[in-house]
Structure 1
Amino acid sequence: MALPANLPCRLLTVALLLGGCARLGPDFQAQQEPWTGQWSSPALEQATQLRRQPDLRQWWQVFSDPVLEKLIAEADANNAGVRIAGLRVVEARAQLGIAQAGRYPQVQQASAEALYVHSRQSAATVQTSRVWQYSAGLDVGWELDFWGRFSRAIESADAAYFASRAIHEDVLVLLHAQLAQTYFTLRAAQARLRIARENARLQKRSYEITERLFKGGESDELDLQQAKTQYLGTLSSIPELESQILHARNALAILIGRPPAPMQEILDMPEKEGVVPLIDRAVLQDVPASLLLRRPDIRAAELQVAAQSALIGVAKADLYPSLTLLGSIGWSATSLPGTPNGFVLIGGPSLRWNVFDYGRIRNNVRIQDARLQQLIVAYQDSVRQAAREADDAASGLLKALEREAILGEAATAANRSLTLANALFREGYSDFQRVLDAQRALFAQQDAYLVNRSTAVGYLIALYKALGGGWQSEQPLVDAATRQQMEQRTDWGGLIDEAASEPTGKRSSIQGGRPDE
């Protein structure tokens, strides 16, 4: 029976008409937390101000520290976590390409055979025959996306791809905050070391004075031992502070992608050594409620909800029959006389339905739904945790600033007390014990002042981090050296460029709702 010449066109038309007739499973709905609409807190209102500069994406510019800015630029280019996150974006883009391939014929198989037959009829007549037989064929199977199995899979992969981009931005947020925190921890340790050395020098002088007085019989041994105890106690804090500086330098080196070693950038700017800035407010370009929902980790959590929502539709598609269009084109020839060559074209539908699955498919749907609900709860908790982090950082900053003013006055008073105690001792109106007490109080107040100022800077950095600041980088997703290494192993085509060229902040096609900018 001859097949119509336009059968392939008819089959293609049917496929286009039937494909995507229905999409099972829930359509993703943007997550809404009603309380976030106008959320704020008194601490946040006092600790933040709306201003255009510096941009929240590069909040560290508020410190006007070129060393910090240089370290952050180097970390963006060389930090291992950022590089891995960029490669995962490329991986997710390739996964999206796999899902998109479901739109096309899933089975494409070509075959070719050649058969040689040699026979001998009898030994007496020695009659032989040789026959060659050739065949070639192409089999194609195209499962129609009648229930939205493949479109939902694409939807899920698309959301997962954009989630990977949001995770990459979140890695940048965490990196910039950690690097700035470590940098100012180093600066604070340098400042504390300078104060400890100055007090140790002062206390050593007092110890030498009491030693001379004791040897001359003008003082008892108690003053000598107390002065010695105080001096050695201050001296013992110096190795610990030096160790903190070394650890902070090593941590900075790893963050910027270097092996542990002295950092010349810090050594070349001695004017910055021991300087701990005091910034009383975080500069924002939008209200905290909007910034919370634009945090990269919050966006990633929402996109993961979207990806899982689509997987429910993929699982539900197994409950219904799948319709596949099968086609086969073949050609055969033989050298046997009188046998014609043949060309065969076969096409038709195939219906497959897993009727007796004993609850496996339905339970798989339930599994996917349970996972979706888990991600929804996780998203809701992530938003609450983000709000808590922002409020804690803002209130911590305000309280640290209150303590800063008090400790500043206390340090001034302690310095004045030492001056008066020294004067009274020299005039003979007081014993040396009051000098020792004044020295101890001065060192304690100066150190507490520096520790509190470092704490205030830490809260400011934490506030920027809690509001999702610092997610932008000028560096490509995949650096040139890594890209060259990968392309030597594998033909990447234009996929790396496609992943890198997506505009930052673009949302998944299924997401809708709030803009990112």
Structure 2
Amino acid sequence: MPRFTGSNRLWLAYVACLGGCVTVGPDFHPQHEGWAEHWSDPAIEQATMQHAQPDASQWWQVFADQNLERLMAEADAHNADLKIAGLRVLEARAQLGIAQSGRYPQVQQIGGDALYTKSRHSGNSGPNSSGSWQYGIGFDIGWELDFWGRFRRAIEAADAAYFASQANRDAVLVLLHAQVADTYFTMRTAEARLRIAHENAALQKRSLEITERLFKSGESDELDLQQAKTQYLSTLSNIPTFESQITLARHALSVLIGRPPGPLPELDEQPGKEGVIPLVDHAVLQDVPADLLLRRPDVRAAELHMASQSALIGVAKADLYPTVTLLGTLAWSASSSSGTPSSLLSASEVAGSPSELALAIGPSVTWNVFDHGRIVNNVRVQDARLQQLVVTYQDTVRQAAREADDAATGLIAALQRDSVLHDAEQAAGRSLTLANTIYREGYSDFQRVLDAQRALSAQQDAYIVNRSNAVGSLIALYKAVGGGWRTEQPLVDPATREQMEQRTHWGDLIKESNAPSAAPLPPEGQSR
């Protein structure tokens, strides 16, 4: 057993103590811009109201549509992008485990060997041969002290990356719920426009039949007939377009909820919703827009990526300084001059063989003094990457504010147009009635009937499209403030979990039932 002098003990104690308190590299601080912390906008204030219900995490409940709610639940359970995002959280958690292993001895090796040596020599008595066996087993340990915080910074980086993966999963949820709702109401809009096209085609068909009868009886010229026919066929040509839009929207919904294109029984759970476009005049929020903006999942993810990269600067800087490693070896060796193979030796013969037990332990210092700029430039690379992420974060916040402002502005404009377009639709219907009456009584030509039919069709379609724009702007507003981040589904669904556990031992890692939603940033300088 080695013996340590007083000076050696003091030196080792100094190294261990200093290794626990020195951390190179910058400490991360959030890069919030002043305007973002107090951001608001007249359009946002006009288009939103603060209320406890419904919760913005499940904002689609404002539509009171059970069909939509069932589609949301199916998407949460089976969407492919969401599954991948959950698996990336597991991957990041495993990466964090790798980083945390740096707290322990990096080298822990057990080795053994058995060597047989045979020699042959000649003498007075003639040729002679002999053999010997050598046995050895040893345990080596090497522990690089975290003198400059290399491993602490690596854990800090992996920890921030882990939380960033959770935020990315929340961002996938926000996008997924917005896509499901937007696609659903795109389908409902196409259904409403298809219904209007059928209704107008029926009106125009009756006009065509009348003009055809009048033309055959000689009471009208062919121009009225051909104009009526043109308008009728033009309206009919729109019907396949709307039917195609409905089919495509159903296909998109099927993929969003993790199915191949096919029937969607969820759309028939609540009858009477075909072609219905609800009008919701404001978004319900539980906090001020500025706070919601900074808690938006993609904004949080951008900030966490900055925190991770900031820690990597410390990892790179640690290479500028010497590394202090505690090395230890415990070895046992034995030899036998017998020419008998070890498998044939008796236990007493092995036990009686000469053997040696050795223990060695002590510190080792290495310092890469002449790196020709490699380490310094690596630190610069990491710092440049951090600055890129700072700019990316600031731009992400600006883009989020623009999205929210655009959506609120679009919602307000659509709401203002709604009542006007409704009155215009009523007026167009009344105009068609009057035009038909005047035409039948012979006080007007057929052109006024055609104009009135065209105006009615256009106003009805414009009214439905504007309602669709209002719904789309409301969905975009909720998405812009990060609404819809919560789900009851686990990170990994049971079938995938079973498949993965058959391949790999996951321990307790894969047993997490739910991913944290809207997780705050970890405290500065701390890891979780």
1:102-501 to structure 2, matched below 5 A, reads 102-122=102-122, 124-125=125-126, 127-267=128-268, 269-336=270-337, 340-498=354-512, 500=513
Equivalent residue of 1:355, what SS? coil
Deviation string 1:378-399 (CA, Å, 9 cap, x unpaired) is 1111111111110110011000
Deviation string 1:195-240 (CA, Å, 9 cap, x unpaired) is 0001001101100110000000000111001100100000000000
Residue 351 (structure 1) shift:
1.1
Equivalent residue of 1:228, what SS? helix
Equivalent residue of 2:109, what SS? strand
Residue 364 (structure 1) shift:
0.7
Q: CA distance change for structure 1 residues 264 and 501 in 2, over 3 Å: closer, same or farther?
A: closer
Q: Using the TM superposition, name which of 427-436 and 202-211 deviates more.
A: 427-436
Q: Does 1:23 align with 2:23?
A: yes
Distance in 1 (CA, whole Å) between partners of 2:499 and 2:13 is 44
Equivalent residue of 2:32, what SS? coil
Residue 426 (structure 1) shift:
2.1
RMSD: 2.2
In structure 2, what is the equivalent of residue 82 of structure 1?
82
Equivalent residue of 1:449, what SS? helix
Distance in 1 (CA, whole Å) between partners of 2:88 and 2:458 is 49
Q: Which runs of 5+ in 2 are unaligned?
A: 339-351
Q: CA distance change for structure 1 residues 272 and 89 in 2, over 3 Å: closer, same or farther?
A: same
Distance in 2 (CA, whole Å) between partners of 1:501 and 1:171 is 15
In structure 1, what is the equivalent of residue 522 of structure 2?
509
Distance in 2 (CA, whole Å) between partners of 1:119 and 1:358 is 51
Q: Tell me, yes or no, if the aligned pair for 1:159 and 1:510 is still in contact at 8 Å.
A: no
- Aligned residue type for 1:453: R
Deviation string 1:333-372 (CA, Å, 9 cap, x unpaired) is 1124997411100111111111111111111111111111
Q: Using the TM superposition, name which of 462-471 and 326-335 deviates more.
A: 326-335
- Aligned residue type for 2:387: Q
In structure 1, what is the equivalent of residue 346 of structure 2?
none
Distance in 2 (CA, whole Å) between partners of 1:35 and 1:5 is 61
- Aligned residue type for 2:82: V
Distance in 1 (CA, whole Å) between partners of 2:63 and 2:266 is 17
Q: Tell me, yes or no, if the aligned pair for 1:105 and 1:142 is still in contact at 8 Å.
A: yes
Q: CA distance change for structure 1 residues 453 and 415 in 2, over 3 Å: closer, same or farther?
A: same
Distance in 2 (CA, whole Å) between partners of 1:403 and 1:11 is 80
Q: CA distance change for structure 1 residues 11 and 242 in 2, over 3 Å: closer, same or farther?
A: farther
Residue 12 (structure 1) shift:
8.7
Equivalent residue of 2:272, what SS? helix
Residue 505 (structure 1) shift:
3.1
Q: Tell me, yes or no, if the aligned pair for 1:11 and 1:325 is still in contact at 8 Å.
A: no
Residue 10 (structure 1) shift:
9.6
Q: Using the TM superposition, name which of 372-381 and 429-438 deviates more.
A: 429-438
Residue 495 (structure 1) shift:
1.4
- Aligned residue type for 1:308: Q
Distance in 1 (CA, whole Å) between partners of 2:69 and 2:520 is 29
Q: Tell me, yes or no, if the aligned pair for 1:18 and 1:145 is still in contact at 8 Å.
A: no
Residue 510 (structure 1) shift:
4.4
In structure 2, what is the equivalent of residue 54 of structure 1?
54
TM-score, normalization by structure 1 = 0.95
Residue 3 (structure 1) shift:
1.3
Distance in 2 (CA, whole Å) between partners of 1:62 and 1:502 is 25
Q: Tell me, yes or no, if the aligned pair for 1:63 and 1:277 is still in contact at 8 Å.
A: yes
Q: Tell me, yes or no, if the aligned pair for 2:24 and 2:317 is still in contact at 8 Å.
A: yes
Q: Tell me, yes or no, if the aligned pair for 1:30 and 1:511 is still in contact at 8 Å.
A: no
Equivalent residue of 1:222, what SS? helix
Identity of aligned residues (%): 68
TM-score, normalization by structure 2 = 0.93
Q: Using the TM superposition, name which of 23-32 and 468-477 deviates more.
A: 23-32
Q: Tell me, yes or no, if the aligned pair for 1:117 and 1:130 is still in contact at 8 Å.
A: yes
Residue 270 (structure 1) shift:
4.0
Deviation string 1:13-38 (CA, Å, 9 cap, x unpaired) is 66642433310010011222111232
Equivalent residue of 1:82, what SS? helix
Q: Does 1:3 align with 2:2?
A: yes
Equivalent residue of 1:274, what SS? coil
Q: Tell me, yes or no, if the aligned pair for 1:21 and 1:145 is still in contact at 8 Å.
A: no
Distance in 2 (CA, whole Å) between partners of 1:64 and 1:216 is 55
Q: Tell me, yes or no, if the aligned pair for 1:20 and 1:151 is still in contact at 8 Å.
A: no
Deviation string 1:54-99 (CA, Å, 9 cap, x unpaired) is 0000000000000000000000010000000000000000000000
Deviation string 1:261-311 (CA, Å, 9 cap, x unpaired) is 132222454411000000010000011011000000000000000000000
Equivalent residue of 2:284, what SS? strand
Residue 11 (structure 1) shift:
10
Deviation string 1:383-438 (CA, Å, 9 cap, x unpaired) is 11111110110011000111111111100000000111111122222222211111
Residue 145 (structure 1) shift:
0.5
Residue 324 (structure 1) shift:
0.8
- Aligned residue type for 2:66: P
Q: Using the TM superposition, name which of 343-352 and 293-302 deviates more.
A: 343-352
Q: CA distance change for structure 1 residues 451 and 506 in 2, over 3 Å: closer, same or farther?
A: closer
Q: Tell me, yes or no, if the aligned pair for 2:280 and 2:471 is still in contact at 8 Å.
A: yes
In structure 2, what is the equivalent of residue 101 of structure 1?
101
Q: Using the TM superposition, name which of 108-117 and 306-315 deviates more.
A: 108-117
Q: Tell me, yes or no, if the aligned pair for 2:15 and 2:147 is still in contact at 8 Å.
A: no
Q: Tell me, yes or no, if the aligned pair for 1:192 and 1:447 is still in contact at 8 Å.
A: yes
Q: Which runs of 5+ in 1 are unaligned?
A: none
Distance in 2 (CA, whole Å) between partners of 1:147 and 1:268 is 62
Residue 120 (structure 1) shift:
4.0
Q: Using the TM superposition, name which of 378-387 and 461-470 deviates more.
A: 378-387
Q: Using the TM superposition, name which of 128-137 and 42-51 deviates more.
A: 128-137
Q: Tell me, yes or no, if the aligned pair for 1:18 and 1:144 is still in contact at 8 Å.
A: no
Q: Using the TM superposition, name which of 162-171 and 402-411 deviates more.
A: 402-411
- Aligned residue type for 2:48: T
